[in-house]
Structure 1
Amino acid sequence: MRNVQNEMQVASIVTGDLPAGEQLYFYWRFNSRGAAGKNIGGDPTLKPPEDNRRYKSPENSAAQNETMKLHRFSPVHVGVVLDLSTPLGKISNTSISMAMDDFYDIHDNYTTKLVLHTKDCQEDFVKAVAAATGLLGTSQVQAIIGPQKSEQAKFMSELVKKTQVPIISFSATSPSFTSISNPYFIRTTLNDSAQVAAIAAIIKAFGWRQAIPISDDTDYGRDILPYLFDALQQTGTHIPYHCLISLQATKDQIMEELFKLQTMQTRVFIIHMRVSVASRLLLLAKEAGMMDEGFVWIMTDGLTNLAESLSSSIIDSLQGAIDDTPAEMNNFALLAYDTVWALAIAAEKASVGKSDFITPYRDTKLPILESLEVSKNGPKLVEEILKCRFEGVTGKFKLINGQLQSSTFQIVNMVGTRERNLGFWDPKTGLSEQSKPKNGKTYSTLMTDLNQVVWPGESGSVPKGWDIPVSRKKLKILVPKSSFPEFVKVEKNASSNNTEVSGFSIEVFEAAVRNLPYALPLEYFAFESASGQNAGTYDDLIMQVYNHNGMSCHDPARILYLTRRELKLDGRIKSV
């Protein structure tokens, strides 16, 4: 394995499918054995030539049959569907090529070898479907790696379900479709819903009562919401609003949504978006002052996985944000690498070197499937993929219910250009500073079980989670003059013409308001006549409260009366 180390290191790789001089950066983490672990039959002492610096693009699959020694290997044709114009598509393409080189350098005794047919769907749903149909029909591939997006994977998984060709995605994270409903869809990454309990635990730990999810208006953005809502509600967290941002949203439309959020009291936001939308949103949020002290931003691991592709200006806007990410590495490009290894191992064990397809019954209601045949090798290949166990570059590779699993999540804090470790969460012990807490530790949702957080605005104080909205709608309170000014004193400020109140009763009331889990701005009005005396009896005051006397018809604010022990509500006198 190239440049094997015990810790993470940066490997700069120049790829043939990129412009001259352009480099991609990988963050690799290996254990002491590297990916050539003993448990997958590799020789831990075997290393490929150190001078192999450039890699072939896997899209040149047509020439692979010519160059590989077919008398030694039986070809296993595999489709690869990527968005090659995106940073993730480019780096995953390179990662897949590296995985091929590394695997067969080590396993040169294998009788099968993957032959890759790479298709660029250019971030287009229709082209992704066309690519899959061509791979299944014309190329008769025995498996497909990809696609990148959940929307693409959802439809393609229906195609492979009919043809019994496994599709293996390392980045389609939507929980709306799984191997349970389609045994030929395999996910070599985490399901988005795996992280929602960790997010709910973080919110509960800091005592925030409300949170607003912000997601893009796609299957990826929407599909996590039922699971997130359920997890938050189980911890008593209220969701007053859900913000959806279109992929095609303009700057003005995003700013309009941000202003709407500013008019609300909640200051805790959970962001689950694609990088393309999140990048614009975060920069505009900073411009709007929503990355300052008092705000809380929690990012899901999908955005964290692509942090390397974010510009320095976006990283700067994320200062103080909290991320949750699997304790074992969940970088999509590295997962693509492990996916190739798993498929190569499974292909060998299933002995699927010879393609074997049969013509199914024609379903005239589904003309797109008329030309597609059914793979007889598919069930065997799926079985072997699900049985794969090895130590990959992302950690232990083990699929449960057709997808990668991680019970422990690391909680990190964005400070400067790096992520500070705050602690960990797992379903048995909750929050802890250690990844493996001591035996006997009870479940915790205490913020004291996490390291100190540096919040937005470089603040060390835990945000309240709410604030006075920008619109500053106020609760209007009518206050009569009292014979006991030490309890309630009402004065008129000559310069500002505002009513000023003070006294013990006022202090008690305002202390109670400050203890509410949301902002409640107040505005006092004196119940007095032109002569400066009370404008009537207590009953007159109650009627003014009841009738909103003196209020303009467009102002729905409620008026409370402090010193009387009775309020007239809904036409009745009730004791308070």
Structure 2
Amino acid sequence: MAGRSMVVRLLLMLAVFSVAFSIEDKCAACNAVAEELEIGLSNEKPRNHLDMRHRLDSTGQRRGKVIDYRVSELRVVDLLDGLCEKMQDYTLQKVDSSRKEWIKVDSWDNLTMNKQEARAYSKDISSYCGRLLEETEDELAELIKKGSVKVGDVSKVLCQDLMIHIREMVMLVDHMENSEFHKLAFRNVGVPDVLLLSSVVALSVSVFYASFSSGSIIYMESISVASPGAALMGNHLFSAKGGNNSARRGEPSKNVSSRPSVVNIGALFTLDSTIGRVAKIAIEEAVKDVNSNSSILPGTKLLVKIQNSNCSGFLGMVGALKFMETDVVAIIGPQSSVVAHIVSHIANELQVPLLSFAATDPTLSSLQFPFLVRTTQSDLYQMAAVAEMVDHYGWREVITIFVDDDYGRNGVSALDDKLAERRCRITYKAGIPPGSVVSRSEILDLLVKVALLESRVIVLHVNPDSGFMVFSVAQYLGMMGSGFVWIATDWLSSVLDSAFPLPLDTMNSMQGVLVLRQHTPDSDRKKAFISRWNKLTGGSLGLHSYGLYAYDSVWLVAHAIDAFLNQGGIVSFSNDSRIRSAEGSSDLNLEAMSIFDDGMLLLNKILQSDLVGLTGPIRFNSERSLVLPAYDIINVIGTGFRKIGYWSNYSGLSIVPPETLYARPPNRSSENQHLYSVIWPGETLVKPRGWVFPNNGKQLRIGVPVRVSYREFVSQVQGTDLFKGFCIDVFTAALNLLPYAVPYRFIPFGDGHKNPSYTELVNLITAGVFDAAVGDIAIYTNRTRVVDFTQPYISSGLVVVVPFKKMNTGAWAFLRPFTPPMWMITAAFFLIIGIVVWILEHRINDEFRGPPRRQLITILWFSLSTLFFAHRENTVSTLGRLVLIIWLFVVLIINSSYTASLTSILTVQRLSSPIKGIESLKSSDEPIGYQVGSFAEHYLTEELRISKSRLIALGSPEEYAIALQKGPKKGGVAAVVDERGYIEIFLSSQCKFRIAGQEFTKTGWGFAFPRDSPLAIDMSTAILQLSENGDLQRIHDKWLMRSSCSLDSAEIESDQLHLKSFWGLFLMCGIACLTALLVLFVQIVNQLRRRASGSTTNFVSDAPTGSRSGQLRRFLSLIDEKLDRSSGENKRRKIEGAFTESNIDSELGNNPYRTATGSGNSSNQHG
């Protein structure tokens, strides 16, 4: 009977607590609904009368009424229909610290407040609108039809005149002093905001409580007083939360004390459990230590009341409700995540902080449960440690066995997320029923399924009872032998630490298991407590990390209560009016439960704590998790275990304790992640591979393309399911190198009439039709996005094949080294150099003088003879020598290049096609051939943007040859684009074709497997071994050895020399010529000016002195004038090859011996 009463009491409590999520200020919400209705009224458009005459009488006349739309039911429907849906555009916005108001949101995207919270408010007011209309719709409809609801009056009509949601309220200001109730003010009000204006008598305490009774809600507000005994003059604005027809008088606050002599805390956990047995002693010892320490809680004694939850959510809730009747300020526990989920709801409502030292469920969020404080590490970090271990050892797939409750499911879900971050995954999740109801046969059936799976890495996240049964059955099935990996979460380390040594049979069933344990730094204080613990328990019960966290939780709450009291916090409790107003609450004694008035203040003090306990620093981050999470990693060996390393959220895996790494910069690189060696199941030091082929009688289904061309790579043996070829031999050779057997069978893919689509073959792996694909499968980007490839076993790439023949050199072959522009520019520069040198030399060099015909011949001869460095004329001038030196250097380069190019042309075979490579093929409009099924089509159309209309599919090497020989003018192709592997086979028998240009893609062929397949990694290693030991080359030579007609220098480029290769030389030579001519021009102009200023010189007697034609004649005459080298020496008929310094000065216009002779001097005659 008592149990049934408790159930009813629980249901009543949950119903009462649900009221907290309803609309608090119904008056403001009502006004918001009225505002939206008023918008509908103001937006109404004039409407015609409603013609209801739809029935014809016997005479054919229509019968019925014509109704005014303003008083019709249709108008009511138009105004009220969809009104509550429109209220979803409203949300509650905070105006200031004490007031909120409903606003209409124009754009949810531009909303600055929390959008999730805003959406929740909009749903609340929409629901409220529905309830409001349900109660007022009839009366409101009548008022609308009567015309009483007008723009500007909607709020008054709906929220005041109808008198449904705003009623008279009675405000009671109560105060309890010395167990005597004082009535400070009493007033009837009819508006939601109440202003207390009456003076208040002096109070002897620092606060008093104003209670507002409003229907089912009592709103308590604490008001500070300046000092004890001061007068409170009122003038305080209070917000009443709703209304009701009959206000009830609220009970006064009780148990008000400034510094209590005793503070009660609760402890809720399973006493008869691995964690509970240790936690009980640890909590009791912590309370003793707190009470014996005079520096904390002076004058106040800390009492703990323990309730047994027995790992039951229902019993845990009952225990929590009992605590609420005894005025506890905080609860230590619960240890179970399942119980924590339930009890946290009660803690939220009654504002009692809940400090859980063992609930590790990562979904216990501070957002959902603000009064829950986790004083241990979340399983989110433990699963991160497991994921990092899996990745460290190179495994990619794991199996999880977990207890099927909140603790197990949510922990495995966190592990799944952490593994996904490292490209690992859970391939199978096996749940075990919670509690002790699971049988050995159920475990046996579960493990038999696991044994048939591929992965051999098993993560065990269960409770101790079922965990040991799993190990026992696994040993019976041979699953604790070599090849398996078992990783147990910290449930096992708790047992090992507290109940060690375990029975020999139990230890034997766990050999090689890796276990995680919450890391607690070694300290003198911890060592002293462990020594004290051993004396307390006599060595019969070990101390695990959860016991340490339970001990620190007591100290944490003690420090928080001390800070709470020092700040003036009051340990006071108030009854919840929602419980008191519930029907039958007095029978269930629900009113005995009370709310901790300053629970939020104590919660903040807990979260602000910063102290050092047995477990290390006790400090919370912004997510309310303990800082610096870390785990020990231990290996079960023989009759004990050893520590192989650590994991911390700061530094990852290490063999150094995390606290020593906190002073260093974080380094999570793979090179710094280390663990000591592990003795794995089966007593081996060799790291398990972590997977095997499923032991379910199935073979790998390997798709093999059925080719009709290039059967050297892969071909089906006629009449059988066997295949042969280069690719098949490489695959089987790699399989033979694997340290395990791989059962497989080849499945042909293709119709045998044409080459199949390799892209479709790869996609069938993703679809699950094939487990792998073997063949000449090119590796390129689109395919790697859906499957994993092995290491390429042959390099390949796209090349261009064109027709080829040895071209006849012919009588004019000597002209082919240079392009026509190159020939023209070269010839032009020979002539230009001759003219420039003549201009620079003929004034001072007799070899460049004479009759015009002779001078022209000299120019041509000199310029051409420089080609062979055989010019007989000597250059005398400095400028002439400068130009000649540069020109001779240019001639040397051109001559050498010409000779090399001509040699190549006369000795090397040539292409007969204008296609010189992929670029020239791309820029042309000629048709292009490609192999059916090859990825060349995709690359040409998608990457090179070549029109599909230019592409012609070819199915065999014979079709290649025919299409190339025909050429584009006869319906063939200008070139064929295909992978090098095929082209090498093609050219080994077709000597009329060659590769033009270079290979323009770099790729290879590999075997395809599903994403994250471990077999792909092992096959890649085997292919590398084949390459290193030479077997891969031998297989290549067996199948792909080329014939003698295939030349090594198959890639042929044009050997013609273009102008672009020499334009720098010509530019340099041209600049030298222009510079020399410019210097000569400046010299002559200076001479011309000096002679024009003298009176003894007359260049042309018949020309006017100032005319332009006369100046031009004088200029040309001066250019052609013969200069004497000296005035005192006889002319030398042979000009030597070197000048004195005075000769150089004469060229620069500073020679004092320069003379001008008359027109009759034969040396000055033109010609």
Same fold (TM over 0.5): yes
Aligned to 1:33: none
How far has the Cα of 1:159 moved from its partner?
0.3
Alignment-derived partner of residue 268 in structure 1: 457
Q: Which residue of 2 aligns with 1:359?
A: 575
- Which residue in the other structure is 1:283 paired with? 472
- Could you say what secondary structure the match of 1:212 adopts? strand
- Find the aligned partners of 1:140 and 1:382 in 2 and give their Cα distance: 16
The alignment status of 1:74 with 2:261, answered yes or no, reads yes
More strand by share: 1
350, 367, 371: which is aligned to 1:184?
Answer: 371
Q: Conserved in 2, the CA contact under 8 Å of 1:472 and 1:521?
A: no
Task: Give, in angstroms, the shift of residue 92 of structure 1.
Answer: 1.1
Separation in structure 2 between the aligned mates of residue 123 and residue 514 of structure 1, nearest angstrom: 54
Match of 1:134, SS?
helix
Please tell me whether residue 457 in structure 1 is matched to residue 682 in structure 2.
yes
Which region of structure 1 is more displaced relative to structure 2, 223-232 or 144-153? 223-232
Q: Within 5 Å, give how 1:102-251 maps onto structure 2.
A: 102-107=289-294, 110-136=298-324, 138-247=325-434, 248-251=437-440
Larger helix proportion of the pair: 2
1:434 aligns with 2:650: no
Q: Which residue of 1 aligns with 2:549?
A: 335
Q: Deviation at 1:413?
A: 2.1
Pairwise CA RMSD: 4.0
* Residue in structure 1 matching 2:612, options 370, 374, 391: 391
**In structure 2, do the counterparts of structure 1 residues 232 and 515 end up closer, same or farther at CA, with 3 Å as the change threshold?**
farther
In 2, Cα distance between equivalents of 1:526 and 1:190: 52
* Distance across 1 between alignment mates of 2:777 and 2:616: 66
Q: Does 1:304 align with 2:493?
A: yes
Q: Secondary structure at the match of 1:239?
A: strand
Rounded Cα–Cα distance in structure 2 between residues aligned with 1:500 and 1:252: 44
> What runs of 5+ residues in structure 1 fail to find an aligned partner?
1-71, 491-498, 528-537, 544-555, 567-572
**Per-residue CA shift, 1:136-185, capped at 9, x if unaligned?**
0x212111111120111111111011111111111111111233332211
1:466 alignment counterpart? 691
2:635 is matched with 413
Question: What does the per-residue CA deviation read over 1:235-294, in whole Å, with 9 as the maximum and x for residues that have no partner?
Answer: 111222111111222211111111111111100111111112211111111211111111
Q: Which amino acid aligns with 1:303?
A: L
- State the TM-score, normalizing by the size of structure 1: 0.70
Q: Structure 1's 526 and 133: CA in aligned 2 closer, same or farther, altered over 3 A?
A: closer
Partner residue of 2:276 out of 89, 97, 109: 89
- Structure 2-normalised TM-score? 0.36
CA drift at 1:342: 1.4
Q: Which of 503, 512, 518 is matched with 1:326 structurally?
A: 518
The answer to whether the 8 Å contact 1:267/1:296 transfers is yes
For residues 703 and 272 of structure 2, what CA distance do their matches in structure 1 show? 63
C-alpha deviation, 1:80, in angstroms: 1.5
Which of the numbers 347, 351, 357 marks the counterpart of 2:561? 347
Write the distance in 2 (CA, Å) between the matches of 1:390 and 1:324: 25
Deviation at 1:515, TM superposition (A): 8.8
Describe the SS at the equivalent of 1:119.
Answer: strand
Task: Sort the Cα spacing of 1:353 and 1:283 in 2 relative to 1 into closer, same or farther, 3 A.
Answer: farther
Residues 1:166 and 1:276: Cα distance change in structure 2 (over 3 Å)? same
Distance 1:475 1:207 in 2: 23
CA distance in 2, matches of 1:182, 1:526: 57
Give, as a single letter, the amino acid of the residue that structure 2 aligns with 1:172: A
In structure 2, the CA distance between the partners of 1:388 and 1:565, relative to structure 1 (3 Å rule), is closer
Give the superposition deviation at 1:426.
3.4
Structure 1 stretch displaced more, 447-456 or 462-471: 447-456
Cα deviation 1:198-237 (Å, max 9, x = unaligned): 2222111111111112211011001123321111011111
Deviations 1:297-349 (CA, angstroms, capped at 9, x unpaired): 11223432333356333333222122333332671111111111112222222
Residue of structure 1 in register with 2:507 after alignment: 315
The change in CA–CA distance for 1:261 and 1:246 in structure 2 (over 3 A counts) is same
State the structure with more CA Rg.
2
Percent identical residues: 30
Counterpart of 1:242 in 2: which secondary structure?
strand
The higher relative CO (CA closer than 8 Å, separation ≥ 6) is in 1
Cα distance, 1:296 vs structure 2: 0.9
Which secondary structure does the structure 2 equivalent of 1:85 belong to? Answer: coil
CA drift of 1:187 comes to: 1.1
Structure 1, residues 323-376: CA drift from partner, whole Å, max 9, x if none?
333332671111111111112222222128964111234167897976532111
Q: Which amino acid aligns with 1:358?
A: S
Please tell me the residue identity of whatever aligns with 1:344.
A
More off after superposition, 310-319 vs 193-202 = 310-319
2:633/2:643 contact within 8 Å kept? yes
Q: Which consecutive residues of structure 2, in runs of 5 or more, have no partner in the other structure?
A: 1-258, 522-543, 757-767, 779-931, 935-1004, 1006-1167
How far, CA to CA, are the matches of 1:268 and 1:259 in structure 2?
Answer: 15
Amino acid at match of 1:406: L
Q: How far is 1:463 from its partner? A: 0.8
1:373 aligns with 2:594: yes
Code of the aligned partner of 2:334? P
- Identify the residue that residue 424 of structure 1 maps to in structure 2: 646
Change (3 A) 1:95 1:250: same
